[in-house]
Amino acid sequence: MLNFLWEFIKRNIFAIVLVVTLLVAMPWLGYIIAVPLIFMVVLGAMVSWRLYKLQSRMRDEANRQRQQYGGGATRGGSRKEGEVTIVRTEPTEQKVNDNVGEYVDFKEVEDEERNG
């Protein structure tokens, strides 16, 4: 966490110098500004650190799953890179009971209005 705090200080050096200057020049005004600013800096560093840890944990979990399930393309790593395998499945016949549904005979009827 100290590393994140140090990185924040390096990125926001102007704000840190301003706060220190206010603390030295006008302590009463400096404390009014410095206390909330320091609170926000520490809170921001803590949130940044937690997000980094969460991102790291998710990346590690994704890598573990990728290794466990073989990285997707190689399916367990048994095939060499670039090797192509075609797997065909036998088509299944659909069997329908003869008693299902009913058949309707229809006959086309010419429309007299159309021809007329």
pTM: 0.39
Q: Which residue has the tokens 């590393």?
A: 3
What is the model's pLDDT at position 70? 63
* pLDDT < 50 stretches in the chain: 74-75
What is the model's pLDDT at position 116? 53
Quote the radius of gyration of the chain (alpha carbons, Å).
36
